Structure 1
């Protein structure tokens, strides 16, 4: 139904301007956060931002002047395109923003121009009367448009123009708020519904922040209070064994972040959540609506445990970006948004916490290989605060974690292993976590991104030349680094169905339906084993590759005949993460369906003009160089132009194939809305190829970042020994580090060196120089109550042990029983003597 332009929202004041000191303060805080303050406006560091705001507003006003029939802005036709309607509201916000910047800060802009403000208000009225106010005609396209996208721009615009609204059209705020409530169709009675699968995580933060602003402009205390209370639920650490409102979206105890129920998403939705929470902190400052520092404390914990491990030399890693990985925005630009949030957070933290956050900002600026442009910040205030932090010599530039660390994000099937010279990022999937995310024409060829795909970032490099959008564009999807995949032709969702989703309402498949989410947008795998054990800066991770839920459902007749599914190849894999190398074991590699299979040990891209060298040694000792298939003992890839190198040590398996090609593809191949920009790269790959019908095989190799030929030759002395490499057990010994590590994938007793374990489970044992033995144990399936381990040899006693670890003696050794029930894959450690 259409809401009349003079409708009033329940619980609000009759006028559009908020009454009361708290409401006024909230609106003033909002204006300051987005438009700046007079003091900030006078800062030279802020001039470029204010000039950009003014320039954008002038261009929007020009587009408004030139609008044709059915347009508010030239070139943005309305009536059938919900993205165009969002854009129209965005443009109105950008004009309104320029009118609230400090006068004098934008010498040629519309700052303080009430005439321009009234044009914005008239634009709001026109859009409401023609394209938004009738809810029976609206809500086409994406639900996000109507519940979050439009409301975000409108709510901020109402706050920015609160004074002029009160003088010019005092009824408009109430009218718009009533409409925004009516469009909250996944809510309850025009409000948030904490039991809705749409009102979770970052989406819930967006909705509640909008409702806080709406309450301020209406003078509606009840709306603000409830919105703040609803947003505070986002702060709760997700306990998978005690879910609140059934919600799995949010941050977990190990720093993982999930959105869309099963997608590892710190780098996109998590980034948006952090930004929104920090903006809420700024808005509520001094209003009395937030009576404790929970928002600040929890957000700081997210930065330390969730974001900092995923940012390497200023680059936010791809493994946590979902479909956003296909966007041309760089990892450096993604980090800039995190930096702005940390800058804002540091102003509200206290003492040592504030110093640590500011030190992290300085550290990111110091280590990033791209200059962070603060004019990209949303808030002029953030720009000034950022400049103050960098200018303060008393703030030590320092990371929020050690340079040598192993981070097991087991709740989202991700692993990050860092050393001063490199960072290794691993993406897996399971019956709990999605293999990939495709949606809305983004990430068109994602099929293998959660099948053990890795990114090996080298220190000192510009990562835009090695990864990011150009890596995804030029590397074939079945040859992503670390992946075992069938050699076959697959088709994207738009190619298969002619739309951006599978459309079959009779069988429950509509856009954003649960069936669409489960089987098209972000399907989970079907095997539970994905995870591993962490012991200080070392770790082991394991993964059993499996078909996804769509393929399984199709085999049982649970999906329509025209619904296309793809079968995965077979592989069981382990990663052993040490100091100088990452050892990878793969067993059962092949294909039950008889297809050819490629296992890609690594893939790297380089500019066409970069000078590359491929050198190695054959197993018989003869030198080798170039490309081809050969029984190599080791291989070295070197990019002389970038001073970058990676070594590969072959510990067992079929001879690898080395290729070096020049590839040109358009960025549009991975995302429909990307510019049709051709990208040309040199594409290096080292693979193991299995022909159609070949028997399953195994292989073992090590990745050696920054390797020299001398270093690679030294592996002939075997500091690394493979103890087992089967689909039941994979185990490695690193003699120099005195580490034994294993993954036991199946039930029963498994033996590797001194270790006996009743599987499934992951174990890492290190014999220290002081005579103690440290051990870490986990259950990567998350399904076991206990994992028993025996260390053969002299009996030992516990010096220290986590809760849940029992140490006893058995004939010929020491028995450790770890209670893993409801641990969700986390590691338990003990020190023995």
Structure 2
């Protein structure tokens, strides 16, 4: 039986983990006699992870991977032969570029890998002592000239020095352990001492769990490196300490009881955060998943403690953290941070998760293992770009993947129901899924960053967390709808769902001439906390961002506000030359149902008097695709074409992809529709992207407000896969807007029996038969059998309790979550919800008339 996430995470709460890891240190001494055998197991397992085994590499499915390993090594050796002065490899100059130094170690690793990978075919690289010695000589050169002197190193990005280089070196030391012992026996110890010295954000050359750099995926990377180093040096204490440190990443983050002040990791609702405030499941999250699964494989069969329940926790990450944000093999934009601007994104991100799930399934049992294997097959069958096993890290994983695909006992099946609603309130994100589509919403707050910019990536990110949405349609190649080309072709001010002032902003390199704001005197260095807070990933200044979930239905609300940098500049806390931008204001709601997503906006205004654009949707299509736009005006006449008009509904169809989206305009100003062909270079969003011109048809439907206009309200519905007949039917229902103000926003769907409301201010608010106390998100559904279900949450995460009165016939409690109280009151039934320390979680109750 597959455990729920709550059950899985309760297996090892944070306090229990921190208590359990202590004995590892004591065991280091008592195990000394048998440690040599354990070290050999770790070395053998690591070789299997990266180079494969004789059995795995004899499989025909692994041949392409072995060929790639071999050809890559030969290319690196040629580059080594052609290197010029100041280079170990041709065209990779060393001395001032930390990325090139990391790349040089990566190239050495790739050569070393080819020399130890078993294979059925003869290769002059396999076991070649001369080639292995060239790698070792390369290590000596890099250490003696560019790495060993710590007073000259540590320029550029801290990650390269503390994690990136160490990852490559540690693996080389394992792969070439015997060759090093025969040729340069002192080199491993020399390198490990240097790697310890470069761990400057640690403590005495080791992990410091109180360091903001040693959290989440970064901590997993560092500790895996140190496990490998300990195996090479046969240092049991190093291994035990590294394992103990890595075990802390398995603990669920409790925002009300933080350990070491760390907010990075997985939360009870499946959210994943890195960098303290960035929603990052699709980047750092997948890296963490891959690393901990690799560690499980490396430690397998050794004498080191492995609690089987940890596998269950990682499976919980997959079920509740990863599966909801992967749609038909595509990793959603809302959890990729600056990775949205990369050319290899989406399907490639999901493939990395698949490899980890392949390996994880080998450690699960029973129905859990079956579910994981079925998910691997489901991703492959639904993806427009199925995972290429040749891109997997491990040859062993490729063989296991082939076995899973051939296993008829595990049917292809998603880990989440086709009809589901997931409120990732801990990271201000929402995913709503139905057969045929998935809707992903990005919010932000004083808790969660509006966006991530860093290292010249994601150059125009300003509105990514201001209600930007992504509507993924089933059967579509998502590279034609989203990914880097969406952000390249669509102006940053007109991303789908965004309300933005009409202005032109400049990127960080344009503003300051560097990839960051450089002002050491005021605390701004490349990786300083000030840089993080105001440049790389600024949070919002609003606290209202969250929503409720009732079964497969959901509501979300957001009060849009300025970011932390703008607020700090107004307070005089930032230098005069630091540039900030002011946001537009709006109060927004999203009500996510079956056939439609209803969007309300009120108080849409610019405090600075600028014009404002609220984009209902933006979509891209290839220039060769036939895009058709049809619509009807509110007076019943046919719409004549692009421009501004009082539309009742609009239908966008991309005949090339076989997809369509409908828009029903429930209230507000007439929208403006445009369809233009745009050509831009992918470098507009990421400096290191190839300078490749991208041409796209860009469709946009938006509501425009003049400069100095009065606050406006807007109401519309997105209808995925809509036909014209379906869109016409909305003239007679079933949707109606009950309220759309800055105090309360609410809708009714008569066909579903649903009333959903978001309230934003203090006092009593009314929406249909609901009366709501203060700020809240509430969904009520009346079922045909006479029962009424109600869900509520605190989107501010600051309230101890909230109450909702359901007017009409008095009802009794059928069932209710802990912390929910139902009682009769004059004129109806009052439901009180205890929301203290719930962190946005929804509470539900089922009622029935007395």
Partner residue of 1:711? 726
| CA spacing shift, 1:455–1:521, aligned 2, 3 Å | same
Structure 1 residue 621, shift from structure 2 partner: 0.4
User: Within 2, Cα distance between the matches of 1:332 and 1:145?
Assistant: 26
* Contact 1:614-1:625 within 8 A present in 2 as well: no
Q: Distance in 2 between matches of 1:807 and 1:369?
A: 48
1:412-561 pair list within 5 angstroms: 412-561=427-576
For residue 103 of structure 1, report the CA deviation from its aligned partner. 3.9
What secondary structure does 2:845 align onto? Answer: strand
Alpha-carbon offset, residue 743 of structure 1? 0.4
- Mapped contact 2:58–2:119 kept (Cα < 8 A): no
User: 3-state SS of the aligned residue for 1:57?
Assistant: helix
Aligned to 1:6: none
Q: Which residue of 1 aligns with 2:651?
A: 636
Report the secondary structure of 2:303's partner residue: coil
How far apart are 1:485 and its partner, in Å?
0.2
In structure 2, the residue matched to 1:400 is: 415
Q: Is 1:26 the counterpart of 2:61 in the alignment?
A: no
Tell me, yes or no, if the aligned pair for 2:660 and 2:722 is still in contact at 8 Å.
Answer: yes
3-state SS in 2 of match to 1:622: coil
Deviations 1:641-680, CA, capped at 9 Å, x for gaps? 2111000000000000000000000000000000000000
The aligned runs of 1:234-633 (5 Å cut-off) are 234-633=249-648
Structure 1 contact 49–375 (Cα < 8 Å) conserved = yes
**Residue 227 (structure 2) pairs with residue 212 (structure 1):** yes
After alignment, is 283-292 or 648-657 more displaced? 283-292
Cα 1:238–1:550 change in 2 (3 A) is same
Please name the residue that 1:61 is paired with.
77
1:124 to 131, 139, 164: 139
Q: Is the counterpart of residue 797 in structure 1 residue 812 in structure 2?
A: yes
SS of equivalent residue, structure 1 residue 747: coil
Give the 5 Å matches for 1:33-44: 33-44=49-60
Residues 178 and 685 of structure 1: CA distance in aligned 2, closer, same or farther (over 3 Å): same
Match of 2:198 among 183, 187, 196: 183
**Structure 2 Cα separation of the partners of residues 103 and 634 of structure 1:** 62
1:82-97 aligned at under 5 Å gives the runs 82-97=98-113
- Secondary structure of the structure 2 residue equivalent to 1:797: strand
Whether contact under 8 Å (2:28, 2:240) holds in the other structure is no
How many Å separate the matches in 2 of 1:504 and 1:559? 11
RMSD: 1.2
1:785 aligns with 2:775: no
Shift in Å at residue 293 of structure 1?
A: 1.4
- Rounded to whole Å, the distance in 1 between the matches of 2:368 and 2:133 is 44
Structure-2 separation of matches of 1:574 and 1:595: 23
Distance 1:288 1:427 in 2: 45
Cα separation, 1, equivalents of 2:410 and 2:834: 43
TM-score (norm 2): 0.95
Which consecutive residues of structure 2, in runs of 5 or more, have no partner in the other structure? 1-26
What is the CA–CA distance in structure 1 between the aligned matches of 2:77 and 2:772, rounded to whole Å? 70
| SS of equivalent residue, structure 1 residue 308 | helix
SS at match of 2:674: strand
Which residue does the alignment assign to 1:645? 660
| CA displacement at 1:290 relative to structure 2 | 2.9
Asked whether the equivalents of residues 645 and 705 of structure 1 are also in contact (C-alpha less than 8 Å), the reply is yes
Q: Distance in 2 between matches of 1:392 and 1:240?
A: 42
SS state at 2:539 partner: coil
- Give the equivalent residue in structure 2 for 1:767: 782
Whether contact under 8 Å (1:501, 1:511) holds in the other structure is: yes
Mapping for residues 136-151 of structure 1, pairs under 5 Å: 136-151=151-166
Deviations, residues 379-401 of structure 1 (Å, cap 9, x unaligned): 00111100110011121111101
In structure 2, what is the Cα distance between the partners aligned to 1:128 and 1:192? 23
Are the equivalent residues in 2 in contact too, given 1:804–1:818 (CA < 8 A)? yes
Q: Distance in 2 between matches of 1:311 and 1:625?
A: 38
TM-score (norm 1): 0.97
Q: Deviations over 1:209-238 (max 9, x none)?
A: 000000000001100011001000000000
Q: Is the 8 A contact 2:162 2:200 kept in 1?
A: yes
Give SS of 1:382's match.
Answer: helix
The superposition leaves residues 413-444 of structure 1 with CA deviations (integer Å, 9 ceiling, x where unpaired) of 00000001100000000010000000010000
* Equivalences for residues 216-231 of structure 1 within 5 A: 216-231=231-246
From the superposition, tell whether residues 798 and 675 of structure 1 become closer, same or farther in structure 2 (CA, over 3 Å): same
Shift >3 Å, 4+ stretches: none
SS of equivalent residue, structure 1 residue 442: coil
Q: Say yes or no: does 1:831 pair with 2:831.
A: no
SS state of the match for residue 601, structure 1?
A: strand
Aligned 8 A contact 2:329 2:385 in 1? yes
Note the C-alpha offset of 1:12: 12
CA deviation vs aligned residue, 1:664-723 (integer Å, no higher than 9, x gap): 000000000000000000000000001111111001000000000000000011200100
Partner residue of 1:654? Answer: 669
Residue 304 of structure 1 deviates from its aligned partner by 0.3
Aligned pair 1:47/2:68, yes or no? no
- CA distance in structure 2 between the partners assigned to 1:791 and 1:414 by the alignment: 29
Equivalent-residue separation in structure 2 for 1:109 and 1:764 (angstroms): 67
Unmatched 5+ residue regions in structure 1?
1-10
Secondary structure of 2:762's partner? Answer: strand
- SS of the aligned residue for 1:623 comes to coil
User: Do 2:28 and 2:237's aligned partners in 1 also have CA atoms closer than 8 Å?
Assistant: no
Deviation of 1:494 after TM superposition, in Å, equals 0.5
Q: Is this contact kept in 2: 1:103–1:112, CA < 8 A?
A: no
